[in-house]
Homo-oligomer: A and B are copies of this chain.
Amino acid sequence: MNEHAGMLLARIREQRPLIHQITNYVVMTDTANVTLHIGASPVMAHAPEEVEEMVQIAGALVLNYGTLSTPWIEAMILAGKQANKSGIPVVLDPVGAGATRLRTETGHRLLRALKVAIVRGNAGEVGALSGSGGEVKGVESVGATESAVDLARNAAKQWNTVVAVTGARDVISDGQRVLGVDNGHEWLQARTGTGCAATAVTAAFAAVEPDYVVAAASALAVYGLAAELAARKANGPASFGVAFFDQIYNLTPEMVAEGARIVELV
């Protein structure tokens, strides 16, 4: 599994898939950069006149509603439907689901309207969306009542998708299999948009690996490993950010094979 994650990183750099992102204003620069550093190519496009055309040349589509508004949600649905028609994986980041009705309902609406390949969220967001009682304050997860394993597995069954719940241990499930990822660093919490950037990286892996449980786990292991290595060189969250982005770019398949910590939980 860990060697395979390294192989997928090599595949991204070879194929250089275009990752079409309809995402929030706060993280656009960071997610574009992370997409480039991992070896893929980002494009941000939200105009209803072009999203269907753009997504057809993409390897994956990211829908992230961190600063949502009605026109952007409509664009997400247009792009997502075309992605479904063209067989392009859709990766959903339900930022702040649970914090307001609009955010929770938008998550439900997107999950109903689209075939989503992977949902990447924190425990509060996934819990709020799946109805198992997550708590979210703004865009921060305060907690969940279920264990992450139950949460991910049950939500995946409910939505017929892969669910990746990120936290100290990331948990990924398609409703049957459950993988855990033990890579990561606490400083990821001290920067904005690190969850959103993990979603962009997950989309890059989904563009080259059709087993989305494996794609998501590999992405989160690579991402978390880069964070671990970067933390050694940092004096705070900003210098961590610089070292982290450098590290994503400098990671090799060999480093991933050695450092990734993906475990089979179920």
Contact = CB atoms under 8 A, between A and B. Distances in A.
Given A99-B57, A237-B36, A193 B250 contact: no
Dominant secondary structure of chain A at its interface with chain B: mixed
Contact of A249 (B45, B68, B140, B236): B236
Interface in A186-209: 190-193
Contacts of A37: 190, 236-238
A103 interface: yes
Given A50-B101, A54-B100, A67-B46, A41 B140 contact: yes
A263 interface: no
A157 B201 CA distance: 43
A118 interface: no
Given A53-B101, A236-B246, A245-B238, A138 B41 contact: yes
A242 interface: yes
Contact of A138 (B27, B42, B71, B99): B42
A18 interface: yes
